[in-house]
Structure 1
């Protein structure tokens, strides 16, 4: 998986060393421009003038992508060095976010039109599969705009799977090196070549999306809504075509189906490939097992609480509990109702769930289940050593021993995550936002969840009324959280550039 990173660690990136990065960024921008053709065509067919916004954006993205690809052509055959990989990850994601914001900026619809802060926020929320939005009146929005939002999340979903499998383990980000050998070894037994694995994962991703679209259509959505929600569900994104999100559709079990598709996106996609290839041990993956047990406990408790307190009858209570808990834990961000009206204890519960996240190698954001598992192993070992100072207690994760490098990386990730969270919360409060809005907004941005808490950015609101500076901060925070923090923060260390 990390063959692209083969090669010595060089000194600071020079002009020649930047060419492979430029080539790959150029290719990504060309692919982004190609995706803009779909909403462009829909707007042309619907006689909506916003097709011009997509045409201009696609032209600019193609021009920049073409120049970068031409300048860096023929330079990636030998792979990337470590510094080039660190540089490629944030530069490519920020570049895609920038060009993806152009249709929102040039469009004639919505408050994002002509607002750089709104356009950047909406694009960052889409490409990072966060699902926070500044738009309202979605039922009257042009179809091209709605499709572009869904496509952004779908592209971001497959993009983060590729990043989590091929790049982050090789860089040793936040304990992801734990999956370097595991991902490569297990995957290679299924398919001997990295390219085959990539195509297999893409096939699973497309297949799940198509299945979701068909199920939503059969359950009562019109074809366009079904496709848009399928793109967002499997990507664990959260953009909807209705201000009421999934609360607009209740019949025929559609919310139960959506719960399953959100959950499907939070499972490592390598496991699907292994399962299809006949490796039944993939079903018992430790991350997936822990995630499912955790969700079952929380849903059971919340569903019982909603039933006992008389807020809903039995089936609606567990349906709303399952949908909204899975939505927040998998960092999707859909909602069936305003769960902040269920009481303070539920508000506190959902605030805590915001940080969890799904499995690594999935489309989910958040801290990720495996890091909580590693921390639990570390705490257990620490307490045992307090009781038995001379005892020897090996640290293991499944069948693997946890070495100091993995443990230190996980501890560092937790520390940096909550330092960034505190800094972002304080920065938002400095912009005269209240504590609930600031604290939940910072959490939902860094964890890529979507809705926050409170009357302003809660499940029944949006981020439109926030000041422009807050939108810029939250947009950057979404990218920072999506890229696992360190790939961005390392660029601010002078030694990275000096060598």
Structure 2
């Protein structure tokens, strides 16, 4: 058997990875048919770009499936799962960029950097965009961006529920489902829960689209925004984002952004009458945070900016929910609300929604565990000989979960600092650099400042900065560890 000494991996060991990546590319090729059909219906020549890209993607996928034939019989090892996760997301982002780059839309056609940035931002549900003039963009491009976010949303749910807990990533093992175990095989978990999660995901998306349509959106806008609302992605079909639609539409968006940020396993349990959603600790904490911050911000708008109470409540709730759930929609340019609002939104960028949801960020459960640890530490300072058990949701907190959360926090801020410094070295100003790095790592979308704020976009940034941010999006979406571990020499040794 031929062996690569530097990697410490045999070719057969990579066969299941190749097979799964190939299967994912075949699914991506099938998804390209939808925007192709829309462009054909609209008589837009971009349908050719989707047709050619679908053929290339399907061909590459078929080759990988054939190359990895038979490799899945024994399941996946932990090591293979670590390789599979970033390999799949990177491959999908690369091939998903092909129709954007091959389109007649100049902003994407003239720069593969822009096409790949837009693709990765969509797939990771970050929502940062380099497109100026969305109102005049081809319908196929707009729909493809929305489809990428929708696919990325369900993809990260499957990853967070089925793969990351088994890998012990960042405390995710706390959310291991009943069908999982600590063995080397992680793939069977996807099959156990995929159908139920997909049904809930599709159902929420369909309901959201129907309500958007009833609220006054065109059918195309309703579908496109439903795909990016439930996935907490934030891509819109207009430069005004949700500010281009009425108050009723914005309240619907608030409800479904929050729905996307809740653990999807809880929906399944709710449908099976196994428990109420709001009994979950993460959900209670998230809702309490949103209510408190939205009330504070609405009061600030009424007192200092003369907003009517109803309007203040809507704008405050919409933008707070959008940022915390990492959706990235905007109903208005909230940077003009004053320094308190700017500082508040910057802090909210780090938080994120619940684990097992479509949202990014550092996740509510990690903040809850850190709060538990801080409280226990302060109590030990007062009562040095006391015994203070650590629990989460009524269960003891294992040491490996606590350690994973602490390491995640440390690693997140190390990566955040390094990315900020690199962006500043490239030439970005301080405000743009610090907000761009966190919005990419947390998969939020808009940053701060006049360039990448809610009223701007990422098109003016140099190509080098876009590549750095593209890597940061993938790094944050896959919870840091699954990407960074591949950069360590020890991982590749036998």
* TM-score, normalised via structure 1 length: 0.95
Of 328, 333, 343, the match for 1:333 = 328
Structure-1 residue corresponding to 2:219? 223
Shift of 1:24: 0.2
Structure-1 residue corresponding to 2:132? 136
SS of alignment partner, residue 115 of structure 2: helix
CA contact (8 A) 2:120 2:474 kept: yes
Deviations 1:149-182 (A, max 9, x none): 0000000000000000000000000000111156
Matched, 1:101 2:97: yes
Shift of 1:78: 1.7
Distance 1:83 1:117 in 2: 31
CA contact (8 A) 1:287 1:370 kept: yes
Of 96, 120, 144, the match for 1:148 = 144
- The within-5 A match list for 1:83-482 is 83-181=79-177, 195-251=191-247, 253-482=248-477
Q: Which runs of 5+ in 2 are unaligned?
A: 1-6, 182-187
Distance 2:433 2:294 in 1: 27
Distance 1:70 1:63 in 2: 11
Distance 2:393 2:77 in 1: 31
Structure-2 residue corresponding to 1:35? 31
SS of alignment partner, residue 194 of structure 2: helix
Q: Which runs of 5+ in 1 are unaligned?
A: 1-10, 186-191
Shift of 1:201: 0.7
Change (3 A) 1:395 1:116: same
CA contact (8 A) 1:122 1:133 kept: yes
CA contact (8 A) 1:129 1:157 kept: yes
Deviations 1:344-374 (A, max 9, x none): 1110000000000000000000000000000
SS of alignment partner, residue 239 of structure 2: coil
Distance 1:61 1:488 in 2: 24
Matched, 1:47 2:49: no
Deviations 1:207-231 (A, max 9, x none): 0000000000000000000000000
CA contact (8 A) 1:303 1:321 kept: yes
Deviations 1:401-451 (A, max 9, x none): 112111110000001111000000000001111000000000100000000
Distance 1:311 1:277 in 2: 47
* TM-score, normalised via structure 2 length: 0.96
CA contact (8 A) 1:275 1:283 kept: no
Shift of 1:195: 3.2
Distance 1:12 1:289 in 2: 46
Deviations 1:219-262 (A, max 9, x none): 000000000000000000000000000000014x1111100000
Change (3 A) 1:356 1:375: same
CA contact (8 A) 1:13 1:83 kept: no
Deviations 1:260-293 (A, max 9, x none): 0000000000000000011124431111011001
CA contact (8 A) 2:150 2:227 kept: yes
Task: Give the superposed CA RMSD.
Answer: 1.4
Shift of 1:184: 5.1
Distance 2:26 2:356 in 1: 25
SS of alignment partner, residue 9 of structure 2: coil
- Number of residues of Structure 1 aligned to a counterpart in Structure 2: 482
Shift of 1:193: 8.4
Change (3 A) 1:458 1:301: same
